[in-house]
Amino acid sequence: MSEDAATRLLTGPVHVIGAGLLGTSIGLAASRAGLTVWLSDANAEHVRTAIGLGAGQHPPAGETAQLVVVAVPPLHIAEVVADSLAGGAVVTDVGSVKALPLDQVADRVDDAALRRYVGSHPMAGSERSGPLAGSAALFDGRPWAITPHVHADPAAVRLVEELVDLCGAVPVRLSPVEHDLAVARTSHLPHLLAVLAAGQLTDAVPEHLTLSGQGVRDVTRVAGGDPELYGQIIRGNRATVADLLREVRGQLDDLIAAVDDASGDALETILDRGVAGTQVIPGKHGRPALETGQVYVLVPDHPGELARLLVEIGEIGVNVEDLRIDHDPGRPSGLVELQVEAGAAERLRAALEDRNWTAHR
Amino acid sequence: MSEDAATRLLTGPVHVIGAGLLGTSIGLAASRAGLTVWLSDANAEHVRTAIGLGAGQHPPAGETAQLVVVAVPPLHIAEVVADSLAGGAVVTDVGSVKALPLDQVADRVDDAALRRYVGSHPMAGSERSGPLAGSAALFDGRPWAITPHVHADPAAVRLVEELVDLCGAVPVRLSPVEHDLAVARTSHLPHLLAVLAAGQLTDAVPEHLTLSGQGVRDVTRVAGGDPELYGQIIRGNRATVADLLREVRGQLDDLIAAVDDASGDALETILDRGVAGTQVIPGKHGRPALETGQVYVLVPDHPGELARLLVEIGEIGVNVEDLRIDHDPGRPSGLVELQVEAGAAERLRAALEDRNWTAHR
């Protein structure tokens, strides 16, 4: 997807509307690439902050941008996209759902203007928000869905692809409806099931919660996200999410029947399907999931000890695919779980024990 | 809970029945503490392996252990506990559910023998199983539930507490029924909801799965656990889990209605409850959850780079509370998410940028 500057269609100016986390980060990335970036936001303080960070400048009166990037909250996307199309620019937005805003835009503009609209959705974010959380590196290596409708102008699509490319993200082309089906399954449904699992904890007596392990922490983490934002996102994909939830309700009924049934193997069949689901998620760098092995190491919980461990693993010559620090409830040490290539796990464990670490698999 | 050797009631021998991951690890920990450990298992190869690792020795004929630890698969616990009580020892088991095995044992032994049975459940494990995965460090700092029934002999309870203590675990005293309610909420329900979320991925077209982010990986990870083992565990807590699942079905109905409803704030209320649930899980070392901030750093994906980052963070003097390597689909670098004390996050980000790391919040 990389384009030589000589053949690049995207020459700016880029007008970013909405100087929050995503808008400011796009402004920083486009500025880094040498493009002129204009910034606007209903909140003048956000614009000042983003400009102060080097994400762009105030839009000059009477000029038209080549590309407008709409990075406003979900409820305002369609209106801002439609207004921006009226100015003659190519317009994209970075909202989390794609079919509903497209319909809403189509209701507001003529067919010629609609050809210049190409929705998109970067799979990046942060639990923080606002321009101060922005970074030119936010999108590095992340998937960024590009969701042209069937009548979109190919040149407009290419312009958006170039934006994705200069932000360092990996473009994934999907139709708006496909996109919404995809995120319903890979994001909205897992989010809502995590919310139900987390919600059940609010009914627990505190003493029972001392038995919480890493599993429940992992399952429920995303449920900590901003309810107002997630509410808007899920409402924007309402029909698709509701269909999926109804499917899950049927599966929950099957699960209840399977748990009630003391004999039979219906429960194992359901659990098998869950295992299969964990195996279809693409692996690191989009490669097939690497078969990994775990090595657990006890690490004193103060600065420098984790570093010393990683230095020694580097000396041993094993690459760490993933690392997790297990929160232990009783003592000033952490159990670090290392994921390494399956074939290297035993060698790593033995080498760490030789170096006087307490390690096991 | 620490006992001086002089006042220690647990002097051995300890007879561990079941030389899998948990049994072998308990044998290793008790041997490390200087106790005589006997090992047995229906699988003679497992016993040989565990003995080879230093976890204990074959039980001598005609002698009686002071404490028997039953570490066999869930379906066989009650039978082995009852047989062990007949020998006159104090008996504990390390199964994942507690009320059903207690009832089953009570059906098999007289009241006097039952007083010597004290169930327990270490919150430790591994995706690996078998004696080779065993480690004396497996329980270090982990909660270990001790679940005496109302007629249990206090001296028997104390013996089991001493075992937990010498394994380095943190004892949590609960009744069998309370324990099962606790793990239904903190373990079995999150597991089953993760299974439903993961199961939905098996219906997705592969291209859609390229939009998978860290959220769905976290939510679904536990669903990769062994279906046969989890099937036995969940069946052992059948009534409690089924009751919770029925509650969740009601909440799922409310959620579907809230998603269907284009207006109103029922959805936000449900999402708010999820946020509250994530906040009641105890923090690291059992302290109240520490307010943490995130710093994201781009790290080249080869041995040594993560170590170099951690060394520099140590030099900067910030303690890493948690660390996560984000699997990125497109390039040979990883985005590392660092959790640090909220007040130190901005200082860490700035210091890392000064040292030429690409860091953001």
3 state SS for chain A: CCCCHHHCCCCCCEEEECCCHHHHHHHHHHHHCCCCEEEECCCHHHHHHHHHCCCCECCCCCCCCCEEEECCCHHHHHHHHHHHHHCCCEEEECCCCCHHHHHHHHCCCCHHHHCCECEEEECCCCCCCCHHHCCCCCCCCCEEEEECCCCCCHHHHHHHHHHHHHCCCEEEECCHHHHHHHHHHHHHHHHHHHHHHHHHHCCCCHHHHCCCCHHHHHHHHHHHCCHHHHHHHHHHCHHHHHHHHHHHHHHHHHHHHHHHCCCCCHHHHHHHHHHHHHHHCCCHHHCCCCCEEEEEEEEECCCCHHHHHHHHHHHHCCCEEEEEEECCCCCCEEEEEEEEEHHHHHHHHHHHHHCCCCEEC
Distance of alpha carbon B171 from alpha carbon B157, whole angstroms: 11
One domain, residues B137 and B192: no
Spell out which residues of chain A touch residue B209, defining contact as CB-CB under 8 Å. Answer: 182, 186, 280-282
How confident is residue A357, by pLDDT bands cut at 50, 70 and 90? Answer: confident
Contact at CB, A211 and B141, closer than 8 angstroms: no
Distance of alpha carbon B160 from alpha carbon B117, whole angstroms: 10
Would residue B332 count as lying in a domain?
yes
Spell out which residues of chain A touch residue B143, defining contact as CB-CB under 8 Å. Answer: 210-211, 213, 329-330
Query: Mean pLDDT throughout A143-152?
Result: 96
Residue B338 phi, psi dihedral angles, 5° rounding = -105, 130
Contact at CB, A303 and B318, closer than 8 angstroms: yes
Place of tokens 């409402």: A235
- What's the pLDDT tens digit per position in A194-229? 999 999 999 999 889 999 888 898 899 999 988 988
Would residue B283 count as lying in a domain?
no
How confident is residue B284, by pLDDT bands cut at 50, 70 and 90? Answer: very low
How confident is residue A301, by pLDDT bands cut at 50, 70 and 90? Answer: low
One domain, residues A62 and A147: yes
**Residue B110 has what pLDDT?**
97
Domain boundary among A280, A308, A323: A280
Would residue A3 count as lying in a domain?
no
Distance of alpha carbon A108 from alpha carbon B135, whole angstroms: 66
Place of tokens 């994942």: B96
Contact at CB, B282 and A210, closer than 8 angstroms: yes
Q: Is A140 or B45 the better-scoring residue by pLDDT?
A: B45
- What's the pLDDT tens digit per position in B50-60? 999 999 999 99
**Residue B1 has what pLDDT?**
43
Domain boundary among A280, A303, A338: A280
One domain, residues B158 and B245: no
Query: Mean pLDDT throughout A37-57?
Result: 95
**Residue B324 has what pLDDT?**
73
**Residue B329 has what pLDDT?**
43
Residues forming beta bridges with residue B122, ordered by sequence position: B144
Closest residue on chain A to B327 (Cα): A284
Distance of alpha carbon B240 from alpha carbon B175, whole angstroms: 14
Q: Residue B62: CB partners within 8 Å, gap ≥ 6?
A: none
**Residue B328 has what pLDDT?**
47
Domain membership of residue B350 as a residue range: 290-360
Would residue B284 count as lying in a domain?
no
Percentage above 90 pLDDT, chain B: 62
**Residue B220 has what pLDDT?**
95
Q: Is the pLDDT of residue A107 over 50?
A: yes
One domain, residues B61 and B170: yes
Q: Residue A7: CB partners within 8 Å, gap ≥ 6?
A: none
Query: Mean pLDDT throughout B30-41?
Result: 96
Q: Is the pLDDT of residue A252 over 80?
A: yes
Distance of alpha carbon A39 from alpha carbon A89, whole angstroms: 15
Span of A65-69, A155-159, B72-76, B105-109 with lowest mean pLDDT = B72-76
Residues forming beta bridges with residue B333, ordered by sequence position: B300
Q: How far is A61 from chain B (nearest CA, A)?
A: 33
One domain, residues B170 and B200: no
- What's the pLDDT tens digit per position in B188-205? 999 999 999 999 999 999
One domain, residues B225 and B254: yes
Q: Which of A161-165, B49-53, B301-305 has the highest mean pLDDT?
A: A161-165
**Residue A76 has what pLDDT?**
94
Q: Residue B47: CB partners within 8 Å, gap ≥ 6?
A: B19, B39, B40, B41, B58
Contact at CB, B195 and A273, closer than 8 angstroms: yes
Pairing between strand A14-17 and A37-40?
A: parallel
Query: Mean pLDDT throughout B206-219?
Result: 89
How confident is residue B132, by pLDDT bands cut at 50, 70 and 90? Answer: confident
> Is B187 an interface residue toward A (CB < 8 Å)?
yes
How confident is residue A5, by pLDDT bands cut at 50, 70 and 90? Answer: low
**Residue B346 has what pLDDT?**
87
Q: Is B99 or A313 the better-scoring residue by pLDDT?
A: B99
Q: Which of residues 189-208 of A touch B (CB under 8 A)?
A: 189-204, 206-208
Span of A19-33, A177-191, A279-293 with lowest mean pLDDT = A279-293
Q: Is A335 or B208 the better-scoring residue by pLDDT?
A: B208
- What's the pLDDT tens digit per position in B322-347? 777 765 444 455 678 888 888 888 88
Q: Which of residues 231-250 of B touch A (CB under 8 A)?
A: 231, 234-235, 238, 241-242, 244-249
**Residue B289 has what pLDDT?**
53
**Residue B2 has what pLDDT?**
47
Q: Is the pLDDT of residue A330 over 50?
A: no
Would residue B240 count as lying in a domain?
yes
Helical (H) or strand (E) element with B158: helix B154-166
**Residue B67 has what pLDDT?**
98
Contact at CB, A126 and B361, closer than 8 angstroms: yes
CATH code of the domain in which A238 resides? 1.10.3660.10
Residue B197 Cα distances to A185, A216, A254, B8, B159, angstroms = 8, 14, 14, 48, 42
Interface size A-B, in CB pairs within 8 Å, comes to: 498
Token representation of residue B149: 């029934």
Spell out which residues of chain A touch residue B74, defining contact as CB-CB under 8 Å. Answer: none
Query: Mean pLDDT throughout A273-281?
Result: 93
Q: Is the pLDDT of residue B127 over 60?
A: no
One domain, residues A294 and A343: yes
One domain, residues B73 and B157: yes
| Residue type, position B313, single letter | I
Distance of alpha carbon A275 from alpha carbon B223, whole angstroms: 6
Would residue B12 count as lying in a domain?
yes
Would residue A2 count as lying in a domain?
no
**Residue A51 has what pLDDT?**
95
| Residue type, position B20, single letter | G
Contact at CB, A241 and B262, closer than 8 angstroms: no
Span of A47-51, B170-174, B311-315, B347-351 with lowest mean pLDDT = B311-315
One domain, residues B26 and B104: yes
Percentage above 70 pLDDT, chain B: 91
Q: Is the pLDDT of residue B230 over 70?
A: yes
Averaged confidence pLDDT in chain A: 88
Averaged confidence pLDDT in chain B: 88
One domain, residues A116 and A61: yes
Q: Is B298 or A201 the better-scoring residue by pLDDT?
A: A201
Pairing between strand A320-326 and B14-17?
A: unpaired
Domain boundary among B151, B174, B197: B174
Percentage above 70 pLDDT, chain A: 91
ipTM: 0.80
Would residue B82 count as lying in a domain?
yes
One domain, residues B15 and B100: yes
CATH code of the domain in which B95 resides? 3.40.50.720
For chain B, the domain total comes to: 3
Q: Which of A301-310, B125-134, B340-349 has the highest mean pLDDT?
A: B340-349
CATH code of the domain in which A307 resides? 3.30.70.260
**Residue A331 has what pLDDT?**
46
- CB A37 within 8 Å of CB A167: no
**Residue B266 has what pLDDT?**
95
Q: Which of residues 260-299 of A touch B (CB under 8 A)?
A: 260, 262, 265, 267-268, 270-286, 293-294, 296, 298
DSSP character at residue B331: S
One domain, residues A161 and A189: no
Residue A78 phi, psi dihedral angles, 5° rounding = -60, -45
Spell out which residues of chain B touch residue A126, defining contact as CB-CB under 8 Å. Answer: 294, 296, 360-361
Place of tokens 């698999």: A361
Distance of alpha carbon A131 from alpha carbon A40, whole angstroms: 12
Cβ-count burial of B200 within 10 angstroms (0-12 exposed, 13-18 middle, 19+ buried)?
buried
Q: Residue B32: CB partners within 8 Å, gap ≥ 6?
A: B136
- CB B316 within 8 Å of CB B352: yes
* Three-state DSSP state, B320: strand
